[in-house]
Amino acid sequence: MLDVTQRDAAARLAPTLGALGVCPRCVLRFAGVSDEAQYARSQADVWAELRGAAGSEPAAPCAEAGACCVCLGMLALVDDAESAPRLLAELTAASIGARRFAFDVAMPSSILVRQRGAFLHANASVGRERMLRYDAIVDAKGVLKGQFSAQVAATLDALRDDASPYRVLLTVEHVACERESEAIVDASSRGARADGGKRQRVNDPSASSMRSVLKALSEPDCRARLERAGLCPPPAGVTPCSASLRASHAPVCIGGRYNKYSREMPQTPWWLDNEKRGISSVQEELQTVLQPAYAASATVFHGAGREDVDVRMLGSGRPFVIEMQEPACLEPGTAVGTPLAELEAAINLASEHVQVSQLRVVPSSSIGDLVREGESEHRKAYRCVVWLSRRVSAREVADKLDGAGEVLLEQRTPIRVLHRRPLLTRPRTVYSMRSELLNGHYLMLDLVTQSGTYVKEFVHGDFGRTHPNVGSLLGCSADILQLDVLSILDER
């Protein structure tokens, strides 16, 4: 039973909202009833109590008129003798034995549009002294989460825990009402343009996103736009919504370091003109072992920077995180019972070109840390083989390169990356160089540079776009034949 205050508030709204075709649970929401136990009662039980408290016979909501005109039948899903058992049976089949689960609901934005229309209509009917506060309406999504998650918990024999990596998502859809949200957002966009705004009309699904709809519903002319769209009050007689239940595990993130020993392998799959380039990729070499072990649907690779396809990654390796998407993983740190040390060994045995070390489960927040690490101002050590257009002596190379100390570069964006990088001039520093003359025209050069230095361009000059460069320091043309990353220095 409702307490006296709640019952009186709901009973005052029952005649107006019931006449529109609003369900009893939505009447409770509009009355500000937050007690989850009240929403667990049957619709008929709630309506009987409101009818008795109203002192008159309010119109029965949704009677022979289809689903609730506000929630589109969403709050009646738990009562549906066919839908609820079907959804829960699908969940049981997809379960991977998790003992805790996080639960969420994705609902159509048209419910918010219809809720606003019903609110404005009800306020115009109840009188100024009884006007509703929109922010007091209880969230329909929260009500359904409370209702349905209890059934999910009983089905899985598990506890609801919003921090759990095992996720259950109830998706509610109503195709016939999708255009309602789009119409409100489009009307808002047209209004902004008429007022001299720069907003452009959006013709993709994001036009009816929750954020766009909430913004449109908060604007001063919201009521006029809802009335023009025939949504204030919202029309009755709608068909019930449909729903689906989907379970998945949050991505499991595996961190570590990789070494790459091939000069024909990118970090991630490389496609050019619909043709795959390279013999494989670092990501593919790892996912060949990790993806089936985790029974993951896909993988996403993140590196702390990346080397070119023809550059080897040596030394202690480059830090990376690879995400296992939707894995059938029961416990963090294991993949279907296989220790990560065994998976690390399996990768290293299977791959001729990539070796990994320090594999471990890491939090998803480490991906952002990895990106920031790749962009940070640490130093990198390289080794390259350089060709020179004229014969040089060991003394000349030692004086002009090894003895140069720190060299400050001005690097314009290289021609080879202009298609994906803005045209800028970047100051970069080469901290040290150490050379070994192989013969008069060839030398091996070790150098330590600032992060973000284009080493290939420092050698050949990129048609004068990098200055100074090895060629200008030695007074000849220079080109780079091979390049390796020896190590990433100054790491935390």
Encode pLDDT of 342-353 as tens digits: 999 999 999 999
Of residues 57 and 414, which shows the higher confidence score?
414
Q: What pLDDT shows up at residue 217?
A: 87
Structure tokens, 230: 């025939």
Residue 203: pLDDT band (50, 70, 90) is very low
Half-sphere exposure of 204 (CA within 13 A, CB side): 2
Tens of pLDDT, residues 137-158: 999 999 999 989 988 888 888 8
Of residues 196 and 415, which shows the higher confidence score?
415
- 233 vs 110, 122, 360, CA distance in Å? 13, 8, 56
Query: What is the CATH T-level fold of the domain 251-375, as seen in this structure?
Result: Alpha-Beta Plaits (3.30.70)
Indicate if the pLDDT at residue 271 is higher than 80: yes
- The dihedrals phi and psi of 38, each to the nearest 5 degrees, come to -70, -30
Residue 420: pLDDT band (50, 70, 90) is confident
| Length of the chain, in residues | 492
Per-residue burial over 416-452, b if 16 or more Cβ lie within 10 Å, else e, is eeeeeeeeeeeebebbbbebebeeeeebebbbbbbbe
Listed by start position, the domains of the chain span: 66-247, 251-375, 379-488
Say if 251-375 and 379-488 have the same CATH topology.
yes
Q: Summarize the confidence of residues 90-109 as an average pLDDT.
A: 80
Q: What Rg do the C-alpha atoms of the chain give, in angstroms?
A: 32
Q: Single out the residue of 334, 429, 322, 415 nearest to residue 379, CA to CA.
A: 429
Q: What pLDDT shows up at residue 132?
A: 77
Active-site residue (options: 139, 308, 369, 402) = 308
Residue 93: pLDDT band (50, 70, 90) is low
Structure tokens, 74: 């969403």
Residue 33: pLDDT band (50, 70, 90) is very high
Tens of pLDDT, residues 360-378: 989 888 888 877 766 666 7
As beta bridge partners, residue 43 has none
Contact in structure between 414 and 457 (CB atoms under 8 Å) = yes
Q: What pLDDT shows up at residue 193?
A: 44
Residue 180: pLDDT band (50, 70, 90) is confident
Q: Residue 302, exposed/middle/buried by CB under 10 A (0-12, 13-18, 19+)?
A: buried
Instruction: Give this prediction's pTM.
Output: 0.66
Distance CA 23, CA 4 (A): 20
Contact in structure between 257 and 318 (CB atoms under 8 Å) = yes
Q: Summarize the confidence of residues 289-315 as an average pLDDT.
A: 92
Q: What pLDDT shows up at residue 111?
A: 94
Angle between helices 110-126 and 178-194 (to 10 degrees): 80
Contact in structure between 307 and 260 (CB atoms under 8 Å) = yes
Lowest-confidence segment of 279-288, 318-327, 376-385, 462-471 by average pLDDT: 376-385
Sequence-separated (6 or more) residues with CB below 8 Å from residue 202: 185, 186, 189, 212
Contact in structure between 61 and 17 (CB atoms under 8 Å) = yes
Q: What pLDDT shows up at residue 462?
A: 95
Distance CA 338, CA 321 (A): 19
Q: Nearest-5° angle of CA 398, CA 403, CA 404?
A: 125
CATH of domain 379-488: 3.30.70.3190
Instruction: Indicate the average pLDDT of the chain.
Output: 85
Sequence-separated (6 or more) residues with CB below 8 Å from residue 62: 21, 22, 23, 68, 69, 236
Do strands 166-173 and 159-160 pair parallel, antiparallel, or not at all (unpaired)? unpaired
Look-up of token digits 């140069």:
404
Q: Summarize the confidence of residues 190-215 as an average pLDDT.
A: 54
Tens of pLDDT, residues 124-136: 876 655 667 888 9
79 is catalytic: no
